[in-house]
Amino acid sequence: MSKRITKREYINRILSYAHEEDKPYLVNELALLDKKNSAERKPSEKDIAKRNADKEMRIAIVDEMEVGVRYSGADIAGLPTPAAAELSVAKVTYLMRELVADGSVNKVVEKRHTFYELAE
């Protein structure tokens, strides 16, 4: 089974055999790939708004949770808050994974069921 080559590898192969008049175009294509895949790229306004909304949801979820009580993803999605009303269980799992990474929530797994509780 042959390995599929990337666009960058393909352009580099063509560049080694290209005529002189075609080389500036190919070099520019490589520069565009570098720019597209750059880690220094600024986040868009949509990305910033999504991060802020997720942060607000995490804060709202933690505010509604009680110490010593275990919650499943479905329990958290069903919390009586405006923020939790629009959440799916998959979105709750995503938000809880971030809260576990922060250390504000503990994750407990019992027989294939995942529960979350506030860290003390």
Residue 38 has what pLDDT? 63
What is the Cα–Cα distance from 104 to 40, expressed in whole angstroms? 29
Residue 4 pLDDT exceeds 60: yes
Residue 83 has what pLDDT? 66
Give pTM, 2 decimals: 0.61
- State whether the Cα torsion 89-94-97-99 is positive or negative: negative
Task: List, for residues 47-73, the tens digit of each pLDDT value.
Answer: 889 888 888 888 888 888 888 888 888
Query: Which DSSP category does 31 fall into?
Result: H
What is the set of domains in the chain, with CATH numbers? 7-36 (no CATH), 45-118 (1.10.10.10)
Task: List, for residues 6-29, the tens digit of each pLDDT value.
Answer: 888 898 998 888 888 988 999 999
Rg (C-alpha) for the chain, rounded Å, is 23
Alpha helices in the chain (DSSP H): 7-17, 23-36, 45-64, 73-77, 82-85, 89-102
Residue 84 has what pLDDT? 65
Residue 1 pLDDT exceeds 60: no
